[in-house]
Each structure stands twice: as C-alpha cells, then as structure tokens.
C-alpha cells in the first residue's frame, strides 16, 4: 500500500492485508492501467489504485452470483423499498393529476366569469351612453322653456304640462316626475 498518500491511510487502519502475486496478461494489465489513468485514480490512490479495480470486479461477481441463486434478503429489502417508493410516486402522481384537473376546471370557470363581466361592462357602458344622451335632451328641453312660467304642483292651471325636469330613472326626485306624467296624461284626456 502506498505510504505517500496519508489522506487515505486511515481507510486501511485495523485491516489485515495480504500481499498476493498475480500473473496477468499484458493486455489486461494495460487495460487496467488505462482505466486508472482515465479516472485519475493514480493521483489519489497511487499504487493502490489496482485495489479499486479488484474491489469493483469482486463486487460485480458477487452481484452476478446473487442473481443466479435468486433474491437474497438484501435484494428483498431493496425490492420492498423500491416498491414503496414507486407506490408513493404513483400516489403523488394521482394527486397532482387530480389537482391539475380541478385547476383546469377552475380556470375555465374564471374565463366564463370574465366573459360575463366583460359583457355586463359593455351593456353598462351602453346604458350609460343612453342615459347621458337623455340627460342632454332633457337639458336642452329645460333650456328651451321660458323661465317665468308658473306651474301648479298638481296641474290646476289646465294648460299644457311642461317637459319633465327629472329623468324617470331618478328615484330620488321625490315623485316629481310622476306628478308631471300625471299632468300630461290628464291634459291629454281633457282635450
């Protein structure tokens, strides 16, 4: 083991080691050397970098043997854990799918409400324009009337009733427009 790498020296504390001489094909040795250089293991592990290759190979062979002999207790635990994670992910997916559906429906309802509000706004603007034109007409009629004509509150004069001063839509006028309408109707009936 490399003594020039004190950073990893503690990894082998308390571990019994054995030195083994192996005969390798030159091609296998060169492949291992290329892998060590590609992973920069020589900088970190020095000559012990070959141990990494040996440990990985041993782990691979043990996994292959475990697969051949059927699932072991560790595999069963891992399978149960993965099944649990899969079921939890499926449940989360179902919840997210339902939530996406409800949000889509809510979005559709909001669009309908927005469309209805826009149409109500357009109707209100039309009515406002109509009321403004009626106000202009009433102002013009009021300006055209002589200002010194005395009008009886209940049309006792018998003459033609003046044009209403207050628009019929104004409910705060205290019934003035009703009296004027009554006067007009009664004057037409007398003629």
The DSSP string of 81-119 is HHHHHHHHHHHHHHHHHHHHHHHHHHHHHHHHHHHHHHH
Q: What is the DSSP letter of 29?
A: H
Q: Based on the fold, state whether residues 118 and 159 are members of the same structural domain.
A: no
pTM: 0.32
Same domain, 135 and 158: no
Domain that holds residue 176: 148-191
C-alpha span between 41 and 33 (Å, rounded): 10
Print pLDDT tens along the chain (191 aa).
Answer: 444 555 555 656 676 777 888 888 899 889 989 988 998 888 877 777 888 788 888 888 887 877 776 655 676 788 888 999 999 899 888 888 888 888 999 999 999 999 999 999 999 999 999 999 999 988 888 888 876 444 444 454 555 555 555 444 555 445 677 777 777 777 765 55
Phi and psi (nearest 5°) for 181? -65, -40
Nearest CA to 46 among 77, 6, 10, 5?
Answer: 5
> Is the same domain home to 95 and 134?
yes
The reply to whether 13 and 52 lie within a common domain is yes
In this structure, what token pair is assigned to residue 68? 């051949």
Cα distance between residue 183 and residue 169, in whole Å: 18
Same domain, 92 and 60: no
**Residue 77 covered by a domain:** no
132 and 152 in a single domain? The answer is no
Residue 76 lies inside a defined structural domain of this protein: no
Number of domains in the chain: 3
Q: What is the dihedral of CA 15, 59, 62, 1, to 10 degrees?
A: -30
Q: How many helices (H) and strands (E) does the chain have?
A: 5, 0
């Amino acid at each position: 083991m490399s003594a020039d790498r004190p950073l990893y020296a503690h990894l082998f504390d308390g571990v019994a080691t054995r030195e083994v001489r192996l005969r390798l094909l030159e091609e296998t040795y060169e492949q291992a050397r290329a892998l060590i250089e590609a992973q920069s293991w020589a900088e970190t592990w020095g000559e012990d970098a070959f141990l990494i290759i040996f440990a990985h190979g041993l782990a691979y062979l043990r996994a292959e043997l475990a697969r051949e002999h059927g699932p072991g207790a560790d595999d069963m635990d891992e399978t149960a854990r993965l099944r649990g994670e899969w079921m939890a992910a499926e449940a989360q997916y179902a919840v997210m799918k339902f939530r996406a559906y409800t949000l889509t429906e809510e979005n559709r309802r909001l669009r309908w409400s927005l469309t209805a509000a826009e149409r109500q706004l357009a109707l209100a603007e039309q009515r406002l324009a109509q009321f403004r034109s009626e106000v202009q007409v009433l102002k013009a009629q009021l300006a055209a009337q002589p200002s010194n004509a005395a009008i009886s509150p209940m049309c006792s004069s018998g003459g033609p009733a003046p044009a209403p001063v207050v628009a019929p839509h104004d409910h705060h006028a205290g019934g003035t427009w009703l009296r004027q309408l009554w006067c007009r109707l009664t004057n037409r009936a007398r003629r």
